[in-house]
């Protein structure tokens, strides 16, 4: 049991070591707290620079970012969209917001993300290519897009997934909610598909309080995203003319101020994250029955959340390990319930999902806040 007065170690908490107070105060002092203000544009520009993308559009959260990205990628009502079964429910929700149907695919053990080989074999068995589009031969619905998700910050096998998508005429939209600061084969994630969505929720590597963004290298797509996420208002100094059903998804300046200060801290936070990951890896090197997860080959991961992976013969012990950790004040947690086991997705079209089911029984996330490693460094950064 935790001695009285001792604080539990959270799974992930924000780290404010830069100009957060200063920028937020500037919003309050000037009154620019809402949907207009200089911080939004500054943040968008710096996010584009950081990720090496041409355009970034800031929105209210990662779910809204995914929703807008899917709509702009051409997902329509009754289309199917391939997503991993092993992801946070927001990935599926965004598909549902479009009136479309999530089609669940399996992940691979090494990357924890969509398995390109399995996806190709699945499409070979069910897909029908007709008039330049892909249809599910079993349901008759068009399969419009695929959404790889970079689990816990570790990049999925993007080049192979992009090839599968090209062969089957699928748009690829990356759910990069967990992966700001992760690189795949030397390129920041987010540029293998036509669009990618980030989240800046309070539990992510950097936070805007709540926030998200869409990145793309395409000017027309960036313009379409910006239009759709700002109520589809036709620019005019005083007239209210809207040419489509749009969304009030613009990130407020107050949140953008926090986001900008956090983005400036990303190099420092990434350094902390990688040092923490190495410390965990060393600590579990000799442990039996469990491994500390490390980034896939040719990737540089942000190590958003560190993870322990139980060997298969120990999968029945997950609950006991979590119980023990919580008793000790360590807020460890499992991965998500695979989506086909949730009531609203029980009947979703899917492939065989053995790896997702197995990983869900074996992966344990452990505390990963950037400030857990090296208080001295935290102080050094402040000075
Ligand atoms: C994989 C994934 N997708 C989407 C989201 C949605 O982001 P938000 O919570 O900002 O809506 C999250 C995080 O919460 C996530 O982890």
What is the per-residue pLDDT across 313-360, written as a single tens digit (0 to 9) for each? Answer: 999 999 999 999 999 999 999 999 999 999 999 999 999 999 999 999
281-298, pLDDT tens digit by residue? 999 999 999 999 999 999
CATH number at 12 reads 3.40.640.10
Q: How far is the CA of 286 from the centre of ligand 1 (A)?
A: 34
Helical pair 158-167 and 116-126, crossing angle rounded to 10 deg: 10
Q: What is the pLDDT of residue 374?
A: 59
The Cα-based distances of 29 to 20, 23, 194, 253 in angstroms read 14, 10, 39, 13
Q: How far is the CA of 54 from the centre of ligand 1 (A)?
A: 23
Per-residue pLDDT band for 5 (boundaries 50, 70, 90) equals confident
Ligand 1 pocket residue status of 254, Cβ below 6 Å: no
- Quote the mean pLDDT of the chain: 95
The DSSP output letter for 305 is S
Counting the structural domains of the chain, the total is 1
Q: Is 114 helix (H, G, I), strand (E, B) or coil?
A: strand
Backbone phi and psi for residue 86, each to the nearest 5 degrees, phi listed first: -100, 85
> Token digits for 322?
């979590």
Considering only CA atoms, which of 20, 3, 14, 10 is closest in space to residue 261? 20
The Cα-based distances of 85 to 104, 114, 177 in angstroms read 5, 9, 16
Q: What is the pLDDT of residue 235?
A: 93
Considering only CA atoms, which of 209, 213, 236, 211 is closest in space to residue 226? 213
Q: What is the pLDDT of residue 379?
A: 52
89: containing domain: 1-383
For ligand 1, mutation pick of 11, 58, 62, 70 (most atoms within 8 Å of CB):
62
Mean pLDDT value of segment 182-207: 97
Question: Which of the pair, 1 or 288, is modelled with greater confidence?
Answer: 288
- Residue percentage of the chain with pLDDT more than 90: 95
Spell out the SS3 assignment of 177-239: CCCCCCEECCEECCCCCCEEEEECCCCCCCCCCCCEEEEECCHHHHHHHHHHCECCECCCCCC
Considering only CA atoms, which of 148, 219, 220 is closest in space to residue 189? 148
Question: Cα separation of 175 and 192, whole Å?
Answer: 11
Ligand 1 pocket residue status of 63, Cβ below 6 Å: yes
Q: Is the pLDDT of residue 111 over 90?
A: yes
Mean pLDDT value of segment 238-266: 98
Q: Is the pLDDT of residue 382 over 80?
A: no
Q: What is the pLDDT of residue 7?
A: 86
Mean pLDDT value of segment 127-133: 97
Per-residue pLDDT band for 36 (boundaries 50, 70, 90) equals confident
Ligand 1 pocket residue status of 37, Cβ below 6 Å: no
Q: How far is the CA of 130 from the centre of ligand 1 (A)?
A: 34
């Amino acid at each position: 049991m935790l001695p009285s007065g001792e604080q539990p170690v959270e799974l992930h908490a924000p780290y404010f070591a830069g100009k957060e107070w200063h920028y937020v105060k500037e919003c309050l002092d000037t009154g620019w707290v809402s949907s207009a203000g200089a911080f939004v544009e500054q943040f968008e520009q710096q996010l584009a620079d950081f990720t090496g993308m041409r355009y970034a559009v800031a929105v209210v959260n990662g779910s809204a970012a995914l929703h807008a990205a899917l709509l702009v990628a051409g997902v329509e009502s009754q289309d199917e969209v391939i997503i991993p079964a092993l992801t946070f429910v927001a990935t599926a929700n965004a598909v549902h917001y479009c009136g479309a149907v999530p089609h669940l695919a399996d992940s691979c053990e090494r990357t924890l993300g969509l398995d390109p080989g399995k996806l190709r074999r699945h499409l070979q068995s069910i897909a029908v290519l007709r008039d330049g589009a892909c249809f599910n031969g079993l349901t008759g619905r068009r399969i419009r897009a695929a959404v790889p998700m970079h689990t816990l910050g570790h990049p999925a096998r993007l080049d192979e997934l992009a090839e599968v998508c090209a062969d089957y005429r699928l748009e690829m939209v990356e759910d990069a909610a967990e992966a700001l600061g992760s690189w795949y084969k030397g390129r920041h994630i987010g540029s293998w598909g036509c669009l990618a969505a980030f989240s800046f929720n309070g539990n992510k590597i950097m936070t805007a309080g709540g926030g998200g963004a869409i990145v793309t290298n395409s000017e027309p797509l960036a313009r379409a995203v910006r239009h759709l996420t700002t109520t589809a208002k036709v620019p005019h100094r005083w007239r209210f003319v809207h040419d489509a059903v749009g969304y009030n998804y613009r990130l407020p300046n107050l949140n953008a101020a926090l986001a900008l200060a956090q983005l400036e801290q990303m190099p420092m936070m990434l350094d902390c994250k990688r040092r923490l990951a190495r410390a965990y890896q060393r600590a579990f090197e000799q442990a039996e029955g469990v491994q500390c997860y490390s980034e896939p080959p040719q990737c540089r991961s942000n190590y958003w959340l560190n993870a322990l992976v139980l060997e298969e013969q120990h999968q029945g012990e997950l609950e006991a390990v979590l119980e023990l950790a919580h008793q000790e004040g360590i807020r460890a947690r499992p991965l998500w319930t695979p989506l086909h086991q949730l009531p609203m997705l029980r009947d979703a079209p899917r492939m065989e999902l053995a790896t997702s089911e197995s990983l869900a029984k074996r992966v344990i996330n452990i505390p990963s806040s950037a400030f857990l490693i090296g208080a001295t460094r935290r102080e050094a950064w402040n000075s």
